[in-house]
Structures are given as C-alpha cells and as structure tokens.
Chain A
C-alpha cells in the first residue's frame, strides 16, 4: 500500500463573466499553482508562532494583474504586473494597501493594492477543501487586459514583525487567457483549494 507522504495541496480556478441581463459565460477552467508562501504560512501556523489571531493565517486578499511570465511555478512570490490604479477598482470593492512578503520573509519596498476577501465568500467545500468566490463588480474596469490572479495569506509573520505593516505572502497563483474587464459584466473567480 502506498501511504501518502506528501500533502499535495492543489487548486482549481474557474472564471465566469456575469452580464447585466443575468447571462453567465465560463471563460476559464483549469488548475492553479500553489506557491511556497503557503508553506511559510502553514509552518508558522503549526509552530504556534503566530499570535492568537486566526485571521493572520487566512487567505483574505487577492490581486489581479496584467503580467505574463513565460513560465511560473511554486516559487512565484508576486504577480507579474498587478493593477496599481486605485481608481480603476471602482467603488464596490474593499481595498487594502499594505506590504507583500518577499522571499525570505522580507517586505516589499512599497505598499501594494490588495482586494479584501470578505467572510461571506469563503466556503467550506468539504472537510479538506475550501472555496473562494471572488468578485469584480461591473464598475471595476481596467485599462489593461487581465491575465493573472493571486491569493494572499493575511499576515502569517505577525508575531515576528510586531509593530510593522501587514505583510501578505502569495499562496496561490494562476495566469489565464486575456480578459478585457469592462463595465458590461462582472467577473467571478471561483477558486477551490484542496489540502
């Protein structure tokens, strides 16, 4: 009998356009890449080296971007070109501007823009999987086509960087076929992580 000695965290991403008349179009459906930041966060978690805040270890932020790396894998630690113009996000998403975690645990030089993942879109799919339903409303409209998305853990190093800004590591990443986000439709990212 083969015993599973590897916890093979996997993820699956579906992207839907939701038009104003209610029509729904699936434009993407594929696996994703779990990145090394997930290992950092989970190791901190199981070492008990966080404060008592569960939220620090939750995936509470995401970014979308327009970058296009020729290849990527678990060592990805940032989007290639996340959307930097706050005005393009519209008025119906909650933004946070804070640091991103770099390799080795350091902080990005500048604050970056993250979209908050609210409690009500985090669903337990099974005892060992969780689904995030991420939403870009109609009034979110970017000048550049979207080609990438990333999930970020909130602040797993909090106990080590006490007093410093939040520092979120990338934990899952995916590039997808170019999507021009206009005000004609909402964009829904349905992302399932299986542990």
Chain B
C-alpha cells in the first residue's frame, strides 16, 4: 500500500502542480486496519478519512535534525494551524474543534503513559487515547472521497482563494474520523506529507490537494482494469 499526494495551484488562467510525490502512511493507518480485522471496530464510517490539517513545519529530520530514527510512529503534525484566523476569516471551510487520537506508551512500567513519538516502546497501549486539548480540523465531505480504481481510494481537498492566505504551508495530515469510537469524533493521523520547503498560500489561487491511497505504482492484476469504477 502506498500513498500519493498531488497539490495543484489553480489560478484563474492556469494551473501549477507544486507537489506530485509519495507520502507516508503512518502508524495510525495500520491501527485502523487491525481494528477492523480483529473486530474491535464498531462501524466502517469511523475509520474512513474524515479530516485533514495543514501545518507550517515538519516531522522529519530535514526540519528536526535531532531526530535520527526513521519512523512512522507519530500521531500529529509538527505545527498544525492552530487558530481559525490562520485558516482565514473569509474561508468557506467549516472547521471543527476536536480532540486528537493517539496511541500511548510507557517507559516506567505502566506508572505513566504518554503519546508515542517515533520510537515504539517496550510497553505500548493497545487502545486509542485522545488528547485533553483540542485542535482545529478541516472536515472531508463524503462526496470528496471517491474510487477511480478498484484497489485505491482518492480524496480531493480544496482550499479556496480565501483560505489560509499568507500561511507558509509545509505539511499535510490526513486523519481517520473516529477510530476510537468516542461519542464525539477524535481524529487519528493515517497519512502525512512534509514538503522539502514551504510555499505560501495566496489569494490569487485555489489549492487542490489530491490524496490517493492504494496499491499505487505497482503493476498488478487489479490496476486499471476497471477505470472509472465507482
């Protein structure tokens, strides 16, 4: 399974692709799958992609040289946009203010647990926890989740001309809706992309974010057999 992210600036008279690259499927993606396979999941909609975030920094070593370990074990963006003002006062996006899900681990035999970050601990929780504080998330409407091929899923996100202007965007996070099956949605990070360098969103273009997850890039028996399959 792979993830792929394409980001396109849409001007009034032309388009410019600024990102067309693989992304990372993070630990949360695996947690969601195992939740289904073991029957812990109560329903399907809660583990489908439901939210995304934009951020201004990055989780990998390019941004944070002190981090030496390659790992997909993290559950948050480095610096997600933290105020509605950053998303824009005139934005058409309806933001949601939610607690975020994560897996915890302990390094002291279970006396204290904290959010897992980069390294898997000797003892990790097998159930999902959630942050006490809330963050802003951008909901993904069901209509923006589609299938063009039998073995992949495509998610299209749009930031209009009034959204996040003046913000240097460097990271994107895709979250499943509520895999802990809490009363209120508590998103879990499932895919992540950090850009090599940030770009600044401006009011003269929209931003289209096309996120694909599946057996991408592999030639196999299912690819492209049923293009347009819905």
Interface string of A73-111 (1 = CB under 8 A from B): 011010000000000000000000000000111000000
CB contacts (< 8 Å) of A39 on chain B: these are 1, 151-152, 214-215, 220, 222
Chain B residue contacts of A64, Cβ below 8 A: none
* Bound-complex Cα distance A37 to B136 (A): 36
Cα distance A119–B33 when bound, in Å? 16
Q: Is B103 an interface residue (CB 8 A)?
A: yes
Q: Are A127 and B126 in contact (CB under 8 A)?
A: yes
A124–B124 CA distance with the chains assembled, in angstroms: 13
- Which one of A52-60, A139-147, A182-190 is at the interface? A52-60
Which residue of chain B has its CB nearest to the CB of A104? B225
C-alpha spacing A130/B41, complex, angstroms: 14
Question: Contact between A54 and B70 (Cβ–Cβ < 8 Å)?
Answer: no
Q: Is the CB of A58 within 8 A of B145?
A: no
B37 & A122 in contact (Cβ 8 Å cutoff):
yes
B69–A128 touching, CB < 8 Å: no
Q: What sequence of 0s and 1s flags, for each residue 144-181 of chain A, a beta carbon within 8 Å of any chain B beta carbon? A: 00000000000000000000000000000000000000
Interface of B is mostly: loop
Measured CA separation A25–B194 after assembly (Å) = 49
Closest chain-A Cβ to B143's Cβ sits at a distance in Å of 11
**Residues in B whose Cβ lies below 8 Å from that of A45:** 33, 36, 44, 47-48
Whether A43 contacts B151 by the Cβ 8 Å rule is yes
Q: How far is the CA of A127 from the CA of B128 in the complex (A)?
A: 9
B171 to chain A, nearest CB (A): 12
A124 / chain B contacts, CB cutoff of 8 Å: 34, 38, 40, 126
B62 on interface, CB distance cutoff 8 Å = yes
- 17 further contact pairs, Cβ within 8 A, besides A7-B30, A39-B151, A57-B37: A5-B24, A6-B22, A36-B218, A40-B151, A40-B222, A43-B213, A45-B36, A47-B147, A54-B41, A54-B43, A55-B39, A58-B39, A103-B222, A104-B226, A105-B225, A127-B27, A130-B38
**Listed A/B pairs (9) with beta-carbon separation below 8 Å:** A46-B49, A46-B153, A52-B43, A52-B44, A52-B45, A104-B221, A105-B225, A127-B125, A195-B29
